[in-house]
Amino acid sequence: MTSIAESVGQLEGVKLYQPSPSLRRRNRIKTIQSSLSIEGNSLTREQVTALLDNKRVIGPQKDVVAVRNAIEVYARLASFDPVSLVSFLDAHRMVMAGLVGTAGSLRKTPIGVVREGDIFHEAPEWEHVASLMQALFDYLKASDDHVLLKSSRFHYQLEYIHPFEDGNGRMGRLWQTRLLMEYHPIFEFLPVEEQIRARQGDYYRELAIGDDSGDCTGFVGFMLELILESLRGLLIDTRSVTLSAPNRLEMALAHFENATFSRKDYQAFFKTISTATASRDLQYGVKRGLLVKSGDKRTAVYRYKN
């Protein structure tokens, strides 16, 4: 947990806690393709990219529908209330729309799950699912546990309860991300799912160990390791890009959006650049047609073109 906090601090220190739009897009694609691949979805990263661009893709219809659903729900992730069971069910309805007839509803049938290595997990009886899920969300609301721990415990408990006929795995991963966003906004675009996909056997093994022992400590520690690896990967990705004027202007767009701002505001956002560098960046943005300038010299303000 300390290492995770240090990595987040490193990202903040170099103004990389809000990845560039291109990096956010790339990581979102990794997240969607990796999470669905764990569930057996056959679409490649290139096909997911094409669907994100509203292009036609040849592939199994159910796989295409699953990706389209995931694109929509991840785009709206910030709008869900992380401690609301109703909001959670709304997200499941979106994730599983057109895939199961019970999308958005808790299961009303018994269910068993075969984990990695043919380890069988018998989920709690369906009559107890509603009360177990309510207790789980009550824990999210009332507990003083650090959100890093709460999000991982929630993920484990959700897979144990298995509240839906289908979509439990992708909902566990989705909602852990939503909870982590309460810790720091960087987690909205952190592709932890890619790390899970790379260590899928270990992922299911830790779930199985928790089933046998009744203790989710191993799973929580495992998820924290994957979160840390994802953060370190993001640091490498962002530091491999030299922060030139175009890079800084792209990053500033996510911060200022449609608001007007001065050179002083721009320099306050990038605390390590000089006044001369800030002026050159803004002049570059105007010349390239990225920015609209109003006023002159000390009164000059800028805004991004729509």
Question: How would residue 16 be classed by pLDDT, with cut points 50, 70 and 90?
Answer: low
Same domain? For 46 and 181 the reply is yes
Whether the pLDDT of residue 269 is over 60: the answer is yes
Q: Are 103 and 96 in contact (CB under 8 A)?
A: yes
On the 0-12 / 13-18 / 19+ scale of CB atoms within 10 A, 140 is buried
Same domain? For 249 and 203 the reply is no
Provide the Cα torsion 211, 215, 218, 223; round to 10°. 80
Question: Distance of CA 7 to CAs 1, 3, 49, Å?
Answer: 10, 6, 28
Same domain? For 31 and 164 the reply is yes
Q: Could you give the angle at which helices 168-180 and 21-38 cross, rounded to 10 degrees? A: 150
Same domain? For 6 and 142 the reply is yes
Same domain? For 137 and 265 the reply is no
User: pLDDT at position 147, please?
Assistant: 96
Q: Which of 239, 260, 292 corresponds to the end of one domain?
A: 239
- The count of C-alpha atoms lying within 13 angstroms of the C-alpha of 6, restricted to the half-sphere facing its C-beta, is 6
Question: Distance of CA 176 to CAs 6, 34, 193, 271, Å?
Answer: 20, 15, 10, 32
Whether the pLDDT of residue 120 is over 70: the answer is no
Average pLDDT over residues 193-215: 92
Same domain? For 155 and 258 the reply is no
Single-letter amino acid code for the residue at 32: I
Question: How would residue 14 be classed by pLDDT, with cut points 50, 70 and 90?
Answer: low
Same domain? For 10 and 146 the reply is yes
Provide the Cα torsion 30, 150, 120, 214; round to 10°. 150
Same domain? For 113 and 72 the reply is yes
Same domain? For 260 and 215 the reply is no
Same domain? For 27 and 139 the reply is yes
Provide the Cα torsion 188, 72, 47, 233; round to 10°. 0
Q: Which of 184, 206, 239 corresponds to the end of one domain?
A: 239
Mapping DSSP to helix (H, G, I), strand (E, B) and coil, where does residue 294 land? strand
Same domain? For 70 and 38 the reply is yes
Give the residue among 59, 58, 95, 62 at the shortest CA–CA distance from 76.
95
User: pLDDT at position 23, please?
Assistant: 76
What is the domain extent for residue 258?
245-304
User: ∠ CA 167-169-170 to the nearest 5 degrees?
Assistant: 70
Q: Which of 221, 239, 257 corresponds to the end of one domain?
A: 239
As for how many domains the chain has, the answer is 2
Query: Which residues share a beta bridge with 293?
Result: 302
Name, in order, each residue with C-beta under 8 angstroms of 191's C-beta and a sequence gap of 6 or more. 27, 28, 30, 31, 34, 230
User: pLDDT at position 96, please?
Assistant: 98
The CATH number given to whatever domain includes residue 259 is 1.10.10.10
* Higher-pLDDT residue of 19, 48: 48
User: pLDDT at position 20, please?
Assistant: 66
Tell me the per-residue pLDDT of 71-102, one tens digit each, with 9 for 90 and over.
999 999 999 999 999 999 999 999 999 999 99
| 156/162 Cα distance (integer angstroms) | 10
User: pLDDT at position 138, please?
Assistant: 98
DSSP 292: E
User: pLDDT at position 252, please?
Assistant: 85
The CATH number given to whatever domain includes residue 214 is 1.10.3290.10
Same domain? For 160 and 254 the reply is no
Stated pTM of the model: 0.77
